[in-house]
Structure 1
Amino acid sequence: MTSLREHAEDYLAMRRNLGFTLEGHGRMLMNFISYLEEVGATTVTTDLAVAWATRAAPGANPASWNKRLTVARIFARHLHALEPATEIPPPDLMPLRYRRITPHLFALDEIVALMAAAAALGQPLRALNYSTLIGLLAVTGMRIGEACGLDRADVDWDTGVLTVRAGKLGKAREVPVHPSTNEALHRYDQQRDELQPVARSPAFFINSRGNRLDAHHVPETFARLRDAAGIRPAAGGRKPRIHDLRHTFCLATMLDWYRTGTDVQAQLPLLSTYLGHVDPVSTYWYLQAAPELLALAAGRLDAFLGDLP
């Protein structure tokens, strides 16, 4: 008889073979399996799934219960085909969901201040890394992990195209950059070799030990640079994060389209591809992420309705 743990491992292996990374999802699922083993369960039931989902740390956002229960539900749905005794928790059992918080939109002078704060870091290579990285994220909207995942071979100086191989769900894509960005990256490449001539990694961004710049450490350094640059959250908002540079790029692009009369709906799929969004819905979310963007969209709608007979 196949154990729940074996079923879970087979399930995760199958989905990963389809291209899903499932890092957080996988950890939660195996935690659920450990809980089932702890209580001596041999099958998944709704009561057990709920008990595990609500077992989160005290003070946790109730919306996290829904996230945990969703992990159990998806696995139970898969398992039910193999073990008919499996109960699948109803989808409306915990309707609470996370609400996406409005991102901080960096003004141009804030981005300049961030890059200046980065350039003032004490260690020369560290200063070069962060000033270049922040600029790259601001003008391409790349994810931090994608930028840190770039290898030298992924930067084509002749065409000005970056090849992102470590995109979401393992999807690769090409990111064309402006000639000024290409030039800035070329300068970084040359200065990097002067500051760290010995590289132990094929990475484009390397640290003082010659290894790849760790994306997991970037947000912490960015927070210090944000504070040094004097950037504060908007009233009622959260502290700006480095991922908000991605939001800023996306919104700035759409604002420019609206102001120049571009057909935004026709261009959104192109933007979605450029950003590496798995689903265009992720790009459409930006349409309601900034009041200024909503105002421009509403103005265009009013003009369209005014032309109707």
Structure 2
Amino acid sequence: MSGHGFTSTFADDLEEYLTFKTSMGCYGASRIWYLKRFDQYCATTGRKVLNQATVEGWVTFQLLSQPISRSWMSYIRDFGPWARITGNADAYVLSEKWKAGFIPSQPYLLTQTEITLFFQAAARLVASSPWKWQAVAFFGLMHSCGLRTGEVRRLTPTDVNLNDGVIEVLASKGDRDRRLPLTGEIADILTECDTHSRRAFAQQRATFFVTSSGKPVSPAAVGVAFNRIWDQARLRRTSAGKRPRPYDFRHHFAYANLERWMTDGTDVNAMLPYLARYMGHASLDSTYYYVHTSPDFMNNFADITRKSELLLPEVGFA
């Protein structure tokens, strides 16, 4: 059995592929999880050749349980070219016809009242896990810096430079790095969180935010914590339509800046490159998405950060 538990004919190749991706700075439990699913499928069905029948057979099988999401297909599509380069000239590369189409999600537009109540509830969270002291810091980073959920989860203790008041977001989407300044308020919150974590785990944690066992928090755990805090704050949920998610703090970060610039008469087009760089976008197309996803966001966000004089919004914990 391999280090990751692979058992099929492709076990050694899958291990070497993951080692290669890690050497290129590409980490992530999601890739490993789906490749394990592929490995289990091959072991169960007796697939021994990396051909079209094997790859598309697994994709078809996987779609039965995940008919909507297709982002995971990129993992098996990337495995094919690697196999060719490393000696398997006949390895099949998943056709582009399986590529997921872009279906933009509709963000839940958080109000300032909801944000305030959420962080008040997060500060009072009763939990036996590290979320008790991590919740305000984790979601505060998303809110104050517009980070992706995965970027916060992957932060290491050395990435969070509390002495200089900056964080290093390394090897993020598109393998891009960026250094972001912290507000004094969020720096204090991170310092308090770090103090609790060091007391509980000493130097044994690989990431800044951890589970009760000291391991990195999973995407699912973030969603569970967010929903628990949202409900504890007695915030409204609709039975249909848009639902609040952790990622909506990132949307709020973008909307809050756009709203303030428009209100202040600042040239938004001139400011978009700065916002794009701060948020880690590869191009302005990604940043324009926040302008077009909700044409009525001006009305919904009329009360957000209007009085702030900062370039980027402070965290509203009051």
TM-score, reference length from structure 1: 0.71
Q: Which whole-Å CA distance do the structure 2 matches of 1:178 and 1:253 have between them?
A: 15
Q: Note the alpha carbon deviations across 1:21-74, whole angstroms, 9 max, x for none.
A: 25322332343244334444442222332221121375x34234x445543333
Q: Which moved more, 1:250-259 or 1:260-269?
A: 260-269
Matched, 1:252 2:253: no
Matched, 1:85 2:90: yes
Could you tell me which of 16, 40, 43 is aligned with 2:22? Answer: 16
Gaps of 5+ in 1: 296-309
Could you tell me which of 172, 181, 190 is aligned with 1:176? Answer: 181
**What is the identity, as a one-letter code, of the residue corresponding to 2:80?**
A
Q: Which whole-Å CA distance do the structure 2 matches of 1:162 and 1:75 have between them?
A: 32
Matched, 1:31 2:37: yes
Q: Please report how far the alpha carbon of residue 284 of structure 1 lies from its aligned counterpart in structure 2 after TM superposition.
A: 3.7
Q: How is 1:97-246 mapped onto 2 (pairs within 5 angstroms)?
A: 97=101, 99-122=103-126, 129-144=134-149, 146-147=151-152, 149=155, 151=157, 154-157=160-163, 159-164=164-169, 167=172, 172-182=177-187, 188=192, 198-202=199-203, 214=217, 217-233=221-237, 236-246=240-250
Q: 1:258 to 1:89 in 2, by over 3 A?
A: same
Q: Which whole-Å CA distance do the structure 2 matches of 1:43 and 1:290 have between them?
A: 47
Matched with 2:75 is 71
**What is the identity, as a one-letter code, of the residue corresponding to 1:43?**
V
Gaps of 5+ in 2: 1-8, 300-318
Give 3-state SS (helix, strand or coil) of 1:106's partner: coil
Give 3-state SS (helix, strand or coil) of 1:26's partner: helix
Matched with 1:301 is none
Q: Which moved more, 1:235-244 or 1:218-227?
A: 235-244
Q: Which whole-Å CA distance do the structure 1 matches of 2:36 and 2:266 have between them?
A: 48
Give 3-state SS (helix, strand or coil) of 2:109's partner: coil
Any conservation in 1 of the 2:110–2:248 contact (CA below 8 Å)?
yes
Greater radius of gyration (CA): 1
Give 3-state SS (helix, strand or coil) of 1:247's partner: helix
Q: Please report how far the alpha carbon of residue 110 of structure 1 lies from its aligned counterpart in structure 2 after TM superposition.
A: 0.5
Q: Note the alpha carbon deviations across 1:178-218, whole angstroms, 9 max, x for none.
A: 344445556x46xx85x789343357977898968846534
Give 3-state SS (helix, strand or coil) of 1:104's partner: coil
Q: 1:19 to 1:262 in 2, by over 3 A?
A: farther
Q: Which whole-Å CA distance do the structure 2 matches of 1:201 and 1:109 have between them?
A: 37
Q: Which whole-Å CA distance do the structure 1 matches of 2:15 and 2:297 have between them?
A: 45
Matched, 1:45 2:46: no
Any conservation in 1 of the 2:73–2:99 contact (CA below 8 Å)?
no
Q: Which whole-Å CA distance do the structure 1 matches of 2:96 and 2:139 have between them?
A: 40
**What is the identity, as a one-letter code, of the residue corresponding to 1:75?**
F
Q: Note the alpha carbon deviations across 1:220-256, whole angstroms, 9 max, x for none.
A: 2221211122333468434311221122112222232
Q: 1:277 to 1:172 in 2, by over 3 A?
A: same
TM-score, reference length from structure 2: 0.69
Runs (4+) of structure 1 exceeding 6 A deviation are: 203-210
Q: 1:184 to 1:26 in 2, by over 3 A?
A: closer
**What is the identity, as a one-letter code, of the residue corresponding to 2:257?**
T
Any conservation in 2 of the 1:207–1:213 contact (CA below 8 Å)?
yes
Identity in percent: 24
- Aligned-pair Cα RMSD in Å: 4.0
Q: 1:284 to 1:10 in 2, by over 3 A?
A: farther
Q: 1:97 to 1:129 in 2, by over 3 A?
A: same
Give 3-state SS (helix, strand or coil) of 2:199's partner: coil
**What is the identity, as a one-letter code, of the residue corresponding to 2:178?**
R
Answer 1 or 2: which has greater helix percent.
Answer: 1
Q: 1:11 to 1:263 in 2, by over 3 A?
A: farther
Q: Which whole-Å CA distance do the structure 2 matches of 1:90 and 1:153 have between them?
A: 38
